[in-house]
Chain A
Amino acid sequence: MVTESDIEHIAELADIGISKDEVPEFTTQFNAILDYFEVLDTVQGESAPAVGITNVFRDDEPRPCLPQEAALANAGSTEDGFIKAPRVM
């Protein structure tokens, strides 16, 4: 059972903005979905070992990549060849 304050906390963790009037609806829907997920409590078996799966490695060699201009082409905000992000501090 998740509460409205849980929903606000999850939205915060996920960096998903949530408006005040959405909170009750999201809470109801979450609880219905989580109720349904309870069927997983009846799954038999402890863990799922990776069977027949191998890593695919390659040598770490420099290869051609996107030119700086193309890499910046879709950024909404740039400065001196860099992408501008919001302040962290």
Chain B
Amino acid sequence: MAGTLQFSPDDRYNAFITTCREAPFGDGALAGTAVAVKDNISTAGIRTTCASRILESYVPPYDAHVVGLLREKGAAIVGKTNMDEFGMGTTTETSAFGPTRNPADPSRVPGGSSGGSAAAVAAGLVPMALGTDTGGSIRCPAAFCGIVGLKPTYGRVSRYGLVAYANSLEQIGPMARTVEDVSRLMSVIARYDPHDSTMLDRPYDHQPSAEIKGLRVGIPEEYFGEGVDPRVAGTVRDAIGVLEELGAETVPVSIPGMRHALAAYYVICTSEASSNLARFDGVRYGPAVDTRKSWHEAYQDLRLELFGTEVRRRIMLGTFALSAGYAGRYYAKAQVARRNIKEDFERAFCDADVIAGPTMPTVAFRLGEKTDPLSMYLSDILTVPANLAGIPAISVPCGRVDGLPVGLQLMGRQFEDERVVDAAFAYEQEVRA
């Protein structure tokens, strides 16, 4: 029955940028369920800041497609969650509204860039939330906070109303404490939208099944090598052992293109960002520019003042990577590397039905621990390949190291989101029992 949900959470982890004290809801599959939405997804009448000062008072005049679907199914949109500014980061520390803290250990980051969504779920403030994943931004905070997060197949969920950062890579996806809730949320948001021309009409209608007898699980050596904390690798290997006990068989696979994945990813995402973020000039939305100054002077002053350092760094990197004389060396090569990785996965999926490995190479960092941008970028090594290939990938909690959550990542063939959900569900049911 339709009504209003009172929502005044104890937000001690700074998970929210905006909360809706009285959230209306309707009838449907999610009637009265509190859902938090990452602050780069447009919500009519609720400000959407992308955790940036440049959009601090921006109130979208329309709902993103996924938000419309949530409302149709009766969900109560209770707030907009904290994130890295425009989704650029791995820790939620680049937010202009202050960092989010990890409920598993408040001296640590929740991961990024959907850290607010993960923390809100992990702290029990909401049962489910939407995040976005450009290079791991749903799976990373899910792993660091000990919850479940799914990056759907590219094109399975509409991106209409998502404030674009790197649109050939990013996807909106569900986050929750259980695989079943992730699956429920996915079935609401994966509905065709003619507004998104990159979308395919493949609705998700699935009840998770724990029956995985005969499932072939590919183990890529590259996911257990250099840079991966041996204790994290061991925890994930134990989790794969659980899948074997359930009747799955493991097969070795290889993704040789991994060595180019991270560089290709950062060239592509910064290139796309340099174009997408050109719209933030303070003219159509955001604070007014100083119209007494000249065009370029006014924009440069405004963007220096209101964009954070990481956003400016990425826009500049992308501008450089696309500039005459360098586009062939960086952008064109990155696209070749991207195709190679996609083909690596296609080969691997001839032998395997899903591919398993750690979500993150380490457990959650301490706040302020990563100061150098390159070392931060390196921590995305295990998540970006799925975005480059456009395949579905889920992170499910699989144990702890030093008391901190570790995520098991399961990747699947394009449009086989159901299969990765089932594998994660089987694991979760077994360890919970």
Contact = CB atoms under 8 A, between A and B. Distances in A.
Interface of A: 2, 7, 10-19, 22, 26, 29-30, 32-33, 36-37, 39-48, 51, 56, 58, 66, 70-71, 73-77, 83-88
23 contacts: A10-B316, A11-B316, A16-B303, A16-B315, A29-B373, A30-B317, A37-B263, A37-B330, A45-B336, A45-B339, A47-B332, A48-B332, A58-B194, A66-B61, A66-B62, A71-B61, A73-B61, A74-B61, A77-B288, A77-B289, A86-B290, A86-B299, A87-B293
A44 B316 CA distance: 27
B318 to A, nearest CB: 8
Contacts of A30: 316-317, 320
B393 to A, nearest CB: 21
Contact of B260 (A14, A22, A43, A70): A43
A7 B316 contact: yes
Interface residues of B, number: 67
Contacts of A22: 309
Contacts of B291: 77, 84-87
A16 B304 contact: yes
Contacts, number: 157
A37 B270 CA distance: 12
Contacts of B260: 39-40, 42-43
B284 interface: yes
A37 B269 CA distance: 13
A15 to B, nearest CB: 5
B64 to A, nearest CB: 15
A23 B61 CA distance: 38
Interface in B310-348: 312-313, 315-317, 319-321, 323, 329-330, 332-340
Contacts of B274: 14
B390 to A, nearest CB: 11
Interface string B254-267: 00000110111011
A17 B283 contact: no
Contact of A14 (B289, B316, B340): B316
A51 B343 CA distance: 11
A74 B59 contact: yes
B62 to A, nearest CB: 7
B299 A15 contact: yes
A86 B295 contact: yes
A46 B338 CA distance: 12
